[in-house]
Chain A
Amino acid sequence: MNKDRRLVDHGADPFEAALLRSARRDGASAKHQRTLAALGLLAGGTTGALKAGAATSASQAGAAAAGKGASLSALKTLSAAKLLTWLGLGAAGGAVTLAVVQSRLQLPAPPRLDPAPSVIVAPLPHLRSRVPPSNELVARPEPSVLAGPSTLVEPPVSRVLPPPDRVRPRVARRTEGLSAAPAPEQVAPAAAPREQVAPAAAPREQVAPAAPDALLEEVSLLDRARLRLSRRDAAGAQQDADAYLARFPDGRLASEATVIRIRAVFLSQGRSAAAPLAEAFLRQHPDSPHASSLRQAFPTPSGAPDR
């Protein structure tokens, strides 16, 4: 017997073999060039993290501020990218919302790749092309709040508002040492509301007044609702969703707020309490992007999800 025979060829049933084969594309999305850029190993590359770090070190020592322009550019790009990430680019609907937020805040356009690849702009490459340039789509899409089974792996909600420990170190890491550039808050004012929203202990009263316009306030309210939901603070999430719906009954994110509320009720009071709310939502918004996941979560009385 060959002791080096693989399970996928011998001994695995079709289901197991399918699972094993699913790993064949592992790592395929990893970007060789990006790592080279990060290490400063690309010929002529100037914007890698390593180079930025080197420039920082040099500037700290009072040497020439080489790389300053690249750092500034990278930081601006980072600000836009991070804002998009924080506010929900993980979901298609969130992307639209954020495109609007971005345009309202007159942030830089969605990040463009520098001539040399940069790890700083890397996190959202697949999303840039999905952000529409105009804000006319705002009223239509709704970010997916009730994730289907496949999104349990990468819940859109988590991208909308990751916990503070997911965001802050990354920002610090990406911007650390860019002493030639202004502090992140100076370059990216849009990041400020997010920073205020994120800490669990931060009272909500500090958030809404800081929002420069109604849309930001809408986003801020729902951001906190999502955060609380992700922390299983169902009462808090419901409170935020209620506050949103009271303040913005015709808000652009009202559908999302309603679904967050349904989810919060589900968590705190169970399926029976949430089901009537879900049914009401589905009657009102049968074609909502949330509809399929709601139908799945709340099957019809006949037992089968009403698809």
Chain B
Amino acid sequence: MEGLLKAELAAIASASPPSLRHLVDAHFDFIARSVRRLGVAETDVDDAVQKVFLIAARKLDAIAAEHAKSFLFATALRVASETRRARKRREAGEMAAAEAFAPSSETPEDLATAHQARALLDEILDAMPMEVRTVFTLFELEEMTMAAIADLIPLPRGTVASRLRRGREIFHAEAKRLRAQHAQVGIEP
């Protein structure tokens, strides 16, 4: 199946490399950030991005230039979802085993640093339904305007606004929960 896909892509790429190249050059960074924020682990980002563009290459003829970003983002959503599920299956047992040990005794301040902060952000984003997470990350992390998000997904602007509100509610609630959780650990005897 994969071999077939690659062979197919080879033909497409050789027929229209400039278009595909343009897609990659123009949207690579955005797609890489997006799949990461949609829940793909850092170590899986490269593979996920490649998959997005492989799919795009197969459907190149059907992608209108003005909708390319929208198409790629929709593809990234699906790929991210698949990648997340696959990783969860792989790690379920490992994580469970790891969690059997004592939690960190670090304080919230300690945790709010680079790597750990990013891991906590993942935990918060994971608590959001995907449609909410999508809008939240595009607005708060990608810093797109609500109008641009409505065009990208596409969605009515009112829906974008309501999902962003919901995302923010979840963000505040989860951040509060995490802070309390780690503060509790910090004072644990």
A23-B37 in contact (CB<8A): yes
Whether a CB of chain A sits under 8 angstroms from the CB of B54 is yes
Task: Render A133-176 as a binary contact track against B, CB cut-off 8 A, 1 for contact.
Answer: 00000000000001111111111011000110110000011001
Whether a CB of chain A sits under 8 angstroms from the CB of B73 is no
A22-B118 in contact (CB<8A): yes
State how many angstroms separate the Cβ of B135 from the closest Cβ of chain A: 13
Residues in chain B near residue A54, CB distance under 8 A = 6-7, 10-11, 14
A19-B117 in contact (CB<8A): yes
Whether a CB of chain A sits under 8 angstroms from the CB of B57 is yes
Whether a CB of chain A sits under 8 angstroms from the CB of B141 is yes
Most buried by A among B35, B91, B96, B116: B91
Residues in chain B near residue A49, CB distance under 8 A = 6, 50
- Contact A27-B89, Cβ < 8 Å, known A35-B24, A41-B17: no
- Which residues in window 1-37 of A have CB below 8 A to B? 3-4, 6-8, 11, 13-16, 18-23, 26-32, 34-36
Complex Cα distance, B94 from A39, in Å, reads 33
Residues in chain A near residue B93, CB distance under 8 A = 163, 230-232
Residues in chain B near residue A261, CB distance under 8 A = none
- Contact A39-B45, Cβ < 8 Å, known A20-B141, A23-B37: no
Residues in chain B near residue A50, CB distance under 8 A = 6, 9-10, 13, 54
Contact of B140 among A7, A173, A266, A296 (CB under 8 A): A7
State how many angstroms separate the Cβ of B15 from the closest Cβ of chain A: 12
Whether a CB of chain B sits under 8 angstroms from the CB of A255 is no
Most buried by A among B3, B9, B20, B113: B3
Task: Render B155-177 as a binary contact track against A, CB cut-off 8 A, 1 for contact.
Answer: 00000010000001001100100
Whether a CB of chain A sits under 8 angstroms from the CB of B106 is yes
- Contact A150-B116, Cβ < 8 Å, known A19-B124, A41-B17, A41-B24: yes
Complex Cα distance, B99 from A266, in Å, reads 11
A15-B113 in contact (CB<8A): no
Q: Which residue of A lies closest to B116 (CB)?
A: A150
Complex Cα distance, B25 from A32, in Å, reads 8
Residues in chain B near residue A86, CB distance under 8 A = none
Complex Cα distance, B13 from A41, in Å, reads 7
A27-B32 in contact (CB<8A): yes
B45-A30 in contact (CB<8A): yes
A305-B24 in contact (CB<8A): no
Complex Cα distance, B42 from A16, in Å, reads 21
Q: Which residue of B lies closest to A35 (CB)?
A: B50
A39-B24 in contact (CB<8A): yes
Whether a CB of chain B sits under 8 angstroms from the CB of A75 is no
B103-A162 in contact (CB<8A): no
A229-B6 in contact (CB<8A): no
Whether a CB of chain B sits under 8 angstroms from the CB of A79 is no
- Which residues in window 213-269 of A have CB below 8 A to B? 229-232, 263, 266-267
- Contact A39-B20, Cβ < 8 Å, known A30-B45, A30-B46, A298-B102: yes
Residues in chain A near residue B29, CB distance under 8 A = 27, 30, 32
A35-B104 in contact (CB<8A): no
Complex Cα distance, B161 from A230, in Å, reads 42
Contact of B99 among A15, A152, A166 (CB under 8 A): A152
B113-A53 in contact (CB<8A): no
Residues in chain B near residue A162, CB distance under 8 A = 90
Whether a CB of chain A sits under 8 angstroms from the CB of B79 is no
Task: Render B1-27 as a binary contact track against A, CB cut-off 8 A, 1 for contact.
Answer: 011011101110110010011001100
Complex Cα distance, B101 from A299, in Å, reads 11
Task: Render A170-194 as a binary contact track against B, CB cut-off 8 A, 1 for contact.
Answer: 0011001100000000000000000
Q: Which residue of A lies closest to B36 (CB)?
A: A26
State how many angstroms separate the Cβ of A66 from the closest Cβ of chain B: 11
Task: Apart from A32-B29, A53-B6, list 9 A-B contacts with CB within 8 A.
Answer: A26-B33, A50-B9, A56-B3, A57-B3, A146-B101, A153-B115, A263-B100, A263-B101, A296-B105
Report B's interface with A, CB cutoff 8 A.
Answer: 2-3, 5-7, 9-11, 13-14, 17, 20-21, 24-25, 28-29, 31-37, 41-43, 45-46, 49-50, 53-54, 57, 89-91, 93-106, 108-109, 112-122, 124, 137, 139-141, 143, 145-146, 161, 168, 171-172, 175, 179, 189
- In the assembled complex, 13 residue pairs joining A and B whose CB atoms fall closer than 8 Å, in A order, are A15-B109, A19-B118, A36-B24, A38-B54, A39-B57, A41-B20, A50-B10, A148-B104, A150-B116, A157-B97, A163-B93, A172-B2, A177-B6
